[in-house]
Structure 1
Amino acid sequence: MDYARSSFCLSDIKSIVIFRALLLGDLLCAGPAFLSLRAAMPQARITLVSLPWARALRSYMPGCFDDFIEFPGYPGFPERKMDPTRLPGFLREVQEQKYDLALQMQGNGYIANSLVAAFGARRTGGYYLPGQYCPDRELCMVYPEKLPEIWRHLALMRHLGVTVNNDRLHFHVPEEDSQALRELLKAHRIEQPYVCIHPGTNAEWRCWPVEHYAAVADILAAEGFQVVVTGSAAERERAQHVLEYMHSPAINLAGETTNLGVLGALIRDASLTVCGDTGISHLACAVDCPSVVVFMRSETEGWPPLDRIRHRLVCSISGVTEQMVIEEALDLLHLARAPYSGPATGISAISIFHQASI
C-alpha cells in the first residue's frame, strides 16, 4: 500500500484532539500509535475524546494524553446512547480549544468524519472510505481494512510523517494497584502460580461455552495452578457457571476487580490467561502475560495479537474444541517465561508492518 506522507510540519502542531470513543482493547491497540505521535510531537498538548471509563487511561498509558473530554454519544455509535442535551455543550467545549489537529481514529470514518470535522480544528487527519466524505484530502488516508488494528493506526501515523518504531502494546500498573492486588489475593487465599480464565465478552456470540472453559480450567488445575475466574460485575453469573461445571476448586473474582489497574496487575502476575476475543486479550499482551485467545466468528484478521508465540489464537470453521485450547495452554505453560525476543522467525513484527504497508 502506498501511504503518502503529509507535507505539513509536525513541529507547528501545538495542540491535538484524538477521537476514539471505544472500549479497552480498542484503546490499547491504538497505544503504539499514541506513543509514536507523542515522540514526534513532544511540544503538543494531546486531548483524548472518549467514553467515561477512559478518563483513567492517563495513569495506565502514561505519556499518551494530557487532557480528557467525555464523549456524550452521537447517532450511529452503539458504544454510548446519545444524550442530545449534552451534545451542543460538548461540541462547544471542543471548538473553544481551537486545536491545530484533530485525529479521527474511531474507524473508517463513515459516521465519525462529519462529527470530527465539527470539532473545528485547523487540520483533520484520519480515515475515510472511497466515495465518502473526507475532511482533509492531505491528512486523511483510505481506511486500511486488511491491516491488523495496531498497524492500521501506525499506518496513519506514518501517513502523517510520524516515525514508527514499535508496535508493542503497553499498560502501566501503578504501585498502589499492585498493592491492592496483593491485598485482594490475600483476602481470597490466592497464591501463585495461578491462571486466569475470562469467559465473558461484550457480545454473546463471541462467547465460548462456559463448560469448555471449565474443562480447560480443570486441566490447568491438575497441572498445579490455582484457577481464578475473572469478569465484570455483569459477567459474575457467567463466571460462576464456569465454577459449577468444574471438578476442581476455583475462585470467582468477577466484579471484584473494578479498578482497571488492579485487573491489569492480576493479569500481569498470572502464569496464563485464557479468554475470548475481548479487551482482556489485549490487556494480556500489554502486561506480557502469556495467553490463549478463543475466536468464534469475529474479525480474526484485524484483532488477534501480533505475537503468536506468547499469545495463541485458536479458531476453527468447524468450532473450537476443548482439546485445541488445552494443547496451546499447556504448550505455553511449559515454555519458560522469558523476556520477549520477537517472533520465532527472527523478523520483528514492526519490520513486517513496514513491508506490509509499503
Structure 2
Amino acid sequence: MPSEPQAPRILVIRRRYLGDLVLLGSVFRNLRLNEPAAHITLLSERAFAPIGKLHLDVDQVKVIPKSIGEWLKFWSWMRKVGFTQVLDFDNTDKTAIITRLTGAAVRVTYDRETNPFRHRWIYTGSAKVSNDFYTSQHITETYLKLLESVGVPVTSREIRLVPREQDLQVVKKYTRGMGPKILLHPGSRSHFRIWPIERFAAVCDYLQDELNAQVFIVAGPGELSIAKEIQQKAEGHVVLIIEHFPIAQFAALISKFDLFLCHDSGPMHIAAGVGVPVVALFGSQNAEIWKPVGEGHTILQTELPCTCLPDMPIPCVKSDSYRNYCVRKLTVEEVSAALHRKLSA
C-alpha cells in the first residue's frame, strides 16, 4: 500500500521590519489555502519575530542565529525538519546561505531589475520583478509574485493579525473610558518624517474639544520625549501611556482603539492588521507601495514632488524619503478634517 505523501514543510525568510512582516500575511494565507496541511515556518531577526506569532497561518517562528553555537544548533534543527520549500524574500548573502543549508528541493527568491541577484546558483527558481511593477503596485503584490515561482495560486489578499487573549487582558486597563478613543503614535524611524509636535498637540485639542474624543499617546523606544512634549503642549487632558510593550501586547493595545493616528510606519501596518482604521501622515515616500492594507484607512500626503523647506537644522535631500521634510507640508486643518470624517462616518 503506498504511503501517504508528506505535507510540505515551508520556510519563509524575511529578516525585518515590523511593517514588512505584517504585510507577509497574504503570503501565509495563500500558502495555507493551497496546502492546508503544510507546516509553515517564518525566519526573521529577533526584534521582529513576535509579529509572526500573530499570523494564524504560521506554525512556527524561528530567529536568525548570531553566535557560532546558535548557528550549529540552527543548522542541526534545519536538517531535522527537512524543509521541502524555501521562499527567501531578502536574497542577501546570509539568507542565501541559509537557503542552501536547508537542503530543500525548491528554493526561490527574487530577480529584481534594480537589485543584484546574489548567488543565483543556490536557487532553483526566481520571480522576475521589473522596476515599473515594483514602483506601481502595493508591496504585497511584489510579495505575492514570489508565490508564482512555486506554483501557488493567489486567491486571497487578506492580512489579519490576531492578538492573543493573554495580551488583550494585559492592555485592557489602559483603554477604559467612554466616547471614541484615538491612539496617537507620533514616532518614525526617521526624524525627518516626524510631523511638528505643536501640530500634534493642536490636533489632540481639536479631537477633545470638537469631537469629544479621548486621546491616548503611545511611544516606542527612543520616542518618549516626543510623546511627553505633545502632552505638555496640548491644552486638554491627553493620556500618555509610558509603558514599553512587547510587540504582541502593542498589537493588542492598538486593537482596543477606534482610530489610530500615525506616520507611515510599522505600527501603521500593525493597526491595519488588527482591523483598526488608520489616519496616516506620509512624506515623500511612495504611498502606492506602502499604504495600509484594507478598507477604511486615510492617507494624507502633500502634493509631490514637494519643495525643500528652508532654514531646517539639517538640509533635506529631495530624492531620499528618509531625509526630507515633506510631511511638514500637511496642516493642522487637513489632519483635523480627516479625523473628523473618520469619526463621523
**Common topology (TM > 0.5):** yes
Specify the alignment match of 1:179 in structure 2: 169
C-alpha contact 2:14 2:89 (8 A) present in aligned 1: yes
SS of the residue aligned with 1:152?
helix
The correspondence for 1:102, drawn from 64, 76, 86, is 86
Work out whether 1:40 is the aligned partner of 2:40: no
Deviations 1:107-166 (A, max 9, x none): x65874455334432221121235633346763112352221112112222342222222
Q: Give the 3-state SS of the residue equivalent to 1:52 in structure 2.
A: coil
Give the aligned residue type for 2:217. Answer: V
Deviation at 1:333, TM superposition (A): 1.2
**Cα distance between partner residues in 2 of 1:85 and 1:248:** 54
Q: How does 1:1-358 map onto structure 2 within 5 Å?
A: 14-57=8-51, 59-62=53-56, 64-72=57-65, 83=67, 86-87=70-71, 89-106=73-90, 112-130=95-113, 132-133=117-118, 134-135=120-121, 139-143=125-129, 145-146=134-135, 147-186=137-176, 190-222=177-209, 223-256=211-244, 258-307=245-294, 310-316=296-302, 317-318=306-307, 319-335=329-345
> Secondary structure in 1 aligned to 2:12?
strand
User: SS at 1:214's partner residue?
Assistant: helix
Asked if the contact 1:20/1:105 (under 8 Å) is kept, the reply is: yes
Larger deviation, residues 139-148 vs 276-285: 139-148
Residues 270-292 of structure 1: CA deviation (Å, up to 9, x unaligned): 22111011111112211221211
**Inter-partner Cα distance in structure 2 for 1:207 and 1:120:** 45
Across the aligned residues of Structure 1 and Structure 2, the Cα RMSD in angstroms comes to 2.6
Aligned residue identity for 1:129: R
Report if aligned partners of 1:113, 1:128 keep a CA contact under 8 Å in 2: no
Unaligned runs of 5+ in 2: 308-328
In structure 2, what is the Cα distance between the partners aligned to 1:137 and 1:84? 25
Q: Which amino acid aligns with 1:220?
A: L
Contact 2:272 2:293 in 1 (8 A): no
Q: How far apart in 2 are the matches of 1:126 and 1:161?
A: 13
Contact 1:170 1:287 in 2 (8 A): yes
Bigger Cα displacement from structure 2, 88-97 vs 317-326? 88-97
Seen in structure 2, the aligned counterparts of structure 1 residues 171 and 180 have a Cα distance that, compared at 3 Å, is same
Deviations 1:180-206 (A, max 9, x none): 2222335xxx44421011001223233
Cα–Cα, structure 1 residues 57 and 161, in superposed 2: closer, same or farther, change >3 Å? same
Quick one: distance in 1 between partners of 2:112 and 2:172?
A: 48
Conserved 8 A contact 1:52-1:71: yes
Distance 1:329 1:92, change over 3 A: same
Tell me how far 1:39 sits from its aligned partner.
1.5
> 2:81 and 2:53 mapped to 1: Cα distance?
23
Tell me how far 1:311 sits from its aligned partner.
Answer: 0.9
Shift of 1:87: 4.3
- Does the 8 Å CA contact 1:271/1:290 hold for their aligned counterparts? yes
Query: Is the contact made by 1:185 and 1:191 (CA closer than 8 Å) also made in structure 2?
Result: no
Greater Cα shift, 90-99 or 33-42 = 90-99
Distance in structure 1 (CA, Å) of the matches to 2:274 and 2:284: 26
Q: Distance between the aligned counterparts of 2:89 and 2:215, measured in 1?
A: 37
CA distance in 1, matches of 2:200, 2:227: 10
1:49 Cα deviation after fit: 0.9
Give the 3 Å change call, closer, same or farther, for CA 132–163 of structure 1 in structure 2. closer
Change (3 A) 1:13 1:139: farther
Structure 1, unmatched stretches of 5+, are: 1-10, 73-81, 336-358
Cα drift, residue 177 of structure 1: 2.5
Q: Which amino acid aligns with 2:236?
A: S
Distance 2:94 2:46 in 1: 20
My pick for the range that moved more, 221-230 or 170-179, is 170-179
User: What is the alpha-carbon distance in structure 2 between the residues aligned to residue 157 and residue 169 of structure 1?
Assistant: 16
2:280 alignment partner, SS class: strand
